[in-house]
Chain A
Amino acid sequence: MSAQPTGELPYVDTKPQGSADFYFATNATFRFILQRLGRAGWVSYLEELGRAYFAPVNDRWRAGGLPAVARYWRAFFAAEPGAKVEVAETPDRVEVVVHGCPAIKHLRAGGREIVREYCQHCYFLGNARAEAAGLTMRLAGGNGSCRHTFAVATGSTTPQDINQIKEAGL
């Protein structure tokens, strides 16, 4: 992704990309919550984060539909250092194809023990945000490359199979 962040992002910094070392803190936060509050607590954290902190994005998705989803993810990954991502838009879905996850890449480069559930966070967070916008989100792959699919909620979407999300690791 080469585009600079745009007004599609709800919270804007003065620099064009974030500091990759913050991925260490996200990984450590997951480990802490999983150890202290268990899996249910971690899932609850992600879902509440998705509905509350990301509410401005969810509102834009609800108002702007799938084109707004595609614009957001293009801007999002342009601001993440080292991301290799394509965002494909069709009339009924948006596919976010992650060829190189910036977080997994940096955690590996830093020699960090990656929480094995790490990649599931994209589903629990992403689906909570999608549902708030009248959409669904499904995830396949993980551990460095994956595919996120956002679609309009129709009631017939196949439930997410958590086993389709790979465990993360070095």
Chain B
Amino acid sequence: MIGCYDFCGHYEWTFGWMERVGGHALVRDYWNEAINHDAQRHARGLIEREGIPGMLKYWGHTLAEESPSLGFAISHREDVFRIDFHDCPSRGFLLRNGLKNYRDYCDHCMGWTGPMLRESGYVIDHEHNHRGQCWWEMRPAAATGGHAPPGSVAGKKDVRLRPEWQDPRAKFDRYVKATDPDAKQL
């Protein structure tokens, strides 16, 4: 049986298998069709109906379940929903267990949330360091401007204030007002 306890492990393995079988296009379609439109349809429905309050309901519940030790922080205002991951439960599982079958696991988050947010009229500012730390800001698509300065939305909970964020060995992927997993700025 495929279990849920080690889900992130076989999920990551699946990305690599799909890319070998059907190339990058199949992986992108998988994130959008299977995860966004099928598995996470409860998230889509909430966010389409309720916007930022729906994001709070979805991520508030799912992250508390995936990360009982609360390795994340949620901040929200009327115009922005933000998550700071200080210890991503998903990436952390892979790092702790030495698992890597796909070239960049972190792409999957933008792979399904990007299209989901686009369909609900939002865009995403996002950065991750591939070490289990990242931040997300989701705003209405008409919002202007680039990345908000560190601390301006999340205060002291902003992951960019961590010393590890400044580690010169960290490799960052950066997205600006994006909804496409391939729109990263390296």
Q: Which residues of A pack against B, CB within 8 Å?
A: 5, 9-15, 17-29, 31-32, 36-37, 41, 45, 48-49, 52-53, 76, 79-81, 101-103, 110, 121-122, 125-126
* Docked pose: A101 CA to B4 CA in angstroms: 12
* Docked pose: A53 CA to B101 CA in angstroms: 9
Query: Which residue of B is nearest A44, CB measured?
Result: B21
B167 proximal to A (CB < 8 A): no
* Docked pose: A52 CA to B4 CA in angstroms: 18
Query: Which residue of B is nearest A16, CB measured?
Result: B5
List the A side residues contacting B68 at CB < 8 Å. Answer: 15
Chain B 57-70 against A: per-residue CB contact (8 Å), 1 yes, 0 no? 00000100110110
Q: Give the total number of A-B pairs whose CB atoms are below 8 A apart.
A: 112
Interface of B is mostly: helix
Q: Which residues of B pack against A, CB within 8 Å?
A: 1-7, 9-11, 13-14, 17, 21-22, 26, 29-30, 33-35, 38-40, 42, 62, 65-66, 68-69, 89, 92-93, 96-97, 99, 101
CB atoms of B38 and A19 under 8 A apart = no
List the A side residues contacting B39 at CB < 8 Å. Answer: 24-25, 27-29
List the A side residues contacting B34 at CB < 8 Å. Answer: 25, 28-29, 31-32
